[in-house]
Structure 1
Amino acid sequence: MNRRQWHAHAHVLRGRVAAVAGCAAALALAVTGTASARPAHHGPDPARQVLAARDGWAAYGTGTTGGARADAAHVHTVSTWEEFKAALADGGDAPKIVKVVGTIDADGPDCASFAAPGYDFGTYLKTYAPETWGRDRDLSAEPDDSPEGLRRASQARQDAYVKAYVPAHTTVIGVGAHAGFKGASLQIKGVDDVIVRNLTFESPLDCFPQWDPTDTADGNWNSEYDSVVVDGSSHVWLDHNTFTDGDHPDSTLPHYYGRLYQQHDGELDVVRGADYVTASWNVFADHDKTVLVGNSDSEAAAAVDRGRLKVTFHHNLFRDLVERAPRVRFGQVDSYNNHFVAGPDYSYSYGIGKESQLVAEHNAFTLPEGVTAGTILKKWTEAPLTAADNWVNGHRTDLIAVHNAEVPDENLKSGAGWTPVLRTRVDSPRAVPALVARLAGAGRLH
């Protein structure tokens, strides 16, 4: 046993002795959980750390090592968006490490800089106002020289700027406590073996949302750009990151046609046949449509997604969100030891979608007065789930039973049909709030 292991072992023993001596149970459990987490990721250089064995679905098969085997020529330190994109492109799929220093601005100069010649938002609003255009036809057939066509061209310009494509066998990691991106959309698309750690992501702000008159009875503004997209990729580990709307929460956005001018999409999407993903010790905060696993109910999507979309969420903080933490279609999703803290706009946490096989266990929920436990689950289509040993405001709660009692027309069935085995230590849900508060998010690698 080396010195670090001996200290970790002694730390555990001291926590147990303290518990016997009468210290608060939650604190003792939090200390024990902290010690148990450290050996899973310890190492001299966080940039070369790999995912521990059995640490969620990303540990399956070949595991996830990212750029751990990068040679010196493929270790980059960057502080601008241009440097970051160049570092990702260097060396193709050769193992690489990209270290991010400070906050990198990926927003571009301003929205006007992305506008296509001839685009005018005032003209767009006038042309597609419901009293003029109606609410029974969408804008998909509008020609390229129409206001909608010019909006599409403008959005394509922004798209090319704010997206960065992460290649296979890559680790992207923040240096220190204040590294991250403002307005970036990291695309992990069609590759294998990627690690993203210790970064703060301020959500991209779509300069050119599309109006869809047919989306609900009143229409909706729909936007592009998630902070991180795992698209058709496998073996991806997202760890100790913070996702937030930052300086541009939805409360600061205007309304047009009586609807919120929504300029945010998601914080994390795992879609289009992606597989073997672990999201651990992250903070997802201050957002509406937060995490999506599986992006469509269509048969075309089903052909790609059935048997895939295996994702683990553990020891994450979901704070002041509206919905989708996550919303799940198809895949086998394991969600355990997370803390959900509901805010004033809370709608639901887990969305039960088409053919989903969600296991939600050993989680803690903190709900404000007036928000009931029956809202934690939201049924979209018929799909059974497993939900055991979850605690709501300090009390063990059967989430399925309370949901069915409060929302009888959305009856949920128990039993996801599988049992997760790719877990490291499982902490008591009573300890999870303190544990996650102290250790989750960017700047808190341990």
Structure 2
Amino acid sequence: MRKRHLVVALGLLGMLCVPAHAEARDISRETLAPNDGWAAAAGGTTGGAAADDAHVYTVTDRAGLVRALDGGSDTPKIIKIAGTIDANTDDDGDRLDCADYTTDGYSLRKYLAAYDPRTWGAAKPSGPQEEARQASAARQAERVVLPVGSNTTIVGLGSKAVLKGGSLQVSDADNVIIRNLELRDAYDCFPVWQPNTGGLGDWKTAYDTLWLRGATHVWVDHITASDKGHPDEKEPTYFARNYLRHDGLLDITNGSDLVTVSWSRFADHDKAMLIGNGDTATGDRGKLRVTLHHNEFESVVQRAPRVRFGQVHLYNNRYVVPDDAHDYRYSVGVSTESAIHAENNAFHTPGHIEAADLVKSWNGTALHQSGTLFNGYPVDLLAIHNAYNSGSERDLTADVGWTPTLHTKIDSAEAADREVARGAGAGRTP
């Protein structure tokens, strides 16, 4: 009895010794810290921190989330997601599948027969089946596209907040925070066939799990984004190309600017992150300023990230390529007028992938890199790229024309590697 009383007493003492603020933390009201990447510039990023009580929502289903998003309005708002929300549901919360969206006589079998390159040729699909595909796709888009307006914070509650099947789209909006949330399986029921007169063509999908399009001052922190549930590698092949169902995990395009992505995990996906969506989009010059730090890219085939035009600070990130990754293409893509400043990143790959495979260039001219670890050993990615790709890709210079100043402490690649493995992703906010 004396021992039990002692345990109870110690428990009560522990409760009394808990600091008064220990249970008062509300991450939905937190804002981006000063100097934490590009999103801290020009006034910083506060999201919905100014929301009044009437615009603080806790949502548990798609209908509640849609009401809280308010059509992408600019009203300051905080949206807390509890549990799992499935975007592919009707207004009553009943599950919808691809058959529920199909209309106007569309069928994949008929579509494949109509646009087989051996008979259709290289022209863009047109006619009844393409029109039916478009109509069916529009029905799905009404459900899964979720517009996020200015002055909004979306945060997951606890360690198991999930949005699956949805595409969060921050379009022409300013001052947005998305934190502590798993984004899963933005699955396109109706990919479109895009012929290519110079090659095989490809299937194109419609939905990124998170798409920043003309968005400014955005902080993405402690999210997990993946294809969990429907991996593309298990999809069939049509017209000699994989029938893709997913687009990007996080794409930052159309003049988006002043973005920080931190402590997040991107996994089990083909094209993970695109910054700048076109070589001819010269209006992106001076924009697409993005900081990526303390993120993990695991089992990602390519685009981690691929950059056009933007000034991108890429530091203290962790890359993991699994032993069975036979489709791996590259991690860092250096494209038209990009200016990537990469510091202290760590890469883990199997033996059949070499350091020369980590960087690929299309019309890029420069890459600054320092402090890179490759399977535990320091390497110079720039020198290796130029040595191994001479003739197939143009040599890159180290002068990217700018030096980052907006950052907190930059750790060694070795230290960051350990910290990111422990702390990146949803449910791991400190």
> How far is the alpha carbon of 1:43 from its aligned partner?
7.7
**Is this contact kept in 1: 2:104–2:135, CA < 8 A?**
no
Report SS of the residue matched to 2:106: coil
The separation in 2 between residues aligned to 1:56 and 1:215, in whole angstroms, is 42
**Is 238-247 or 155-164 further displaced after alignment?**
155-164
Q: Distance in 1 between matches of 2:429 and 2:197?
A: 42
Partner of 1:417: 401
Worse-superposed segment, 199-208 or 91-100: 91-100
Unmatched runs of 5 consecutive residues or more in structure 2: 1-22, 90-95
Structure 1: unaligned runs, 5 residues or longer = 1-41
Cα deviation digits, residues 404-436 of structure 1 (max 9, x gap): 122112122221110000000111111122100
Deviation at 1:203, TM superposition (A): 2.4
Contact 1:74 1:90 in 2 (8 A): no
Q: Distance in 1 between matches of 2:364 and 2:105?
A: 47
Are the equivalent residues in 2 in contact too, given 1:74–1:91 (CA < 8 A)? no
* CA-to-aligned-CA distance 1:191-229 (integer Å, 9 cap, x gap): 110000000011211100011121751121111100001
* Residue aligning to 2:81: 100
Q: Which residue is 2:428 aligned to?
A: 444
- The answer to which of 406-415 and 422-431 deviates more is 406-415
Map 1:27-426 → 2, pairs under 5 A: 44-89=25-70, 92-108=73-89, 109-134=96-121, 136-139=122-125, 142-143=126-127, 146-214=128-196, 217-298=199-280, 301-303=281-283, 305-343=284-322, 344=325, 345-409=327-391, 410=393, 411-426=395-410
What's the offset of the Cα at 1:162?
0.4
TM-score by length of 2: 0.90
Letter in 2 for 1:65: T
Letter in 2 for 1:138: K
RMSD between aligned residues: 1.4
Q: Who is 1:25 aligned against?
A: none
Deviations along 1:267-299, whole A, 9 cap, x unmatched?
A: 00100010000000000000001000001112x
Q: 1:382 to 1:251 in 2, by over 3 A?
A: closer
Whether the 8 Å contact between 2:72 and 2:147 is mirrored in structure 1 is no
| Aligned-partner residue type, residue 72 of structure 1 | D
**What SS class does the counterpart of residue 224 from structure 1 fall into?**
coil
Q: Check 1:398–1:215 CA distance in 2 against 1; reply closer, same or farther (3 A cut).
A: farther
TM-score normalised according to structure 1 size:
0.87
In 1, Cα distance between equivalents of 2:150 and 2:100: 32
Secondary structure of 1:199 counterpart: strand
For residue 77 of structure 1, report the CA deviation from its aligned partner. 0.2
Deviation sequence 1:98-119 (CA, Å, 0-9, x none): 0000111012401011112221
Rate the CA distance shift 1:229–1:43 in 2: closer, same or farther, 3 A. farther
Kept after mapping to 2: 8 A contact 1:282/1:315: yes
Shift of 1:383: 2.1
Whether the 8 Å contact between 1:203 and 1:226 is mirrored in structure 2 is no
Kindly indicate whether the alpha-carbon contact (under 8 Å) linking 2:71 and 2:148 is maintained by their aligned counterparts in 1: no
Query: In structure 2, what is the Cα distance between the partners aligned to 1:215 and 1:312?
Result: 37
AA of the residue aligned to 1:130:
P
Aligned residues: 397
**CA distance 1:339–1:72, change in 2 (3 Å):** same
Partner AA of 1:337 in structure 2 = N
Q: Which residue of 2 aligns with 1:37?
A: none
8 Å CA contact retained: 2:59, 2:80: yes
**Which amino acid is the alignment partner of residue 319 of structure 1?**
E
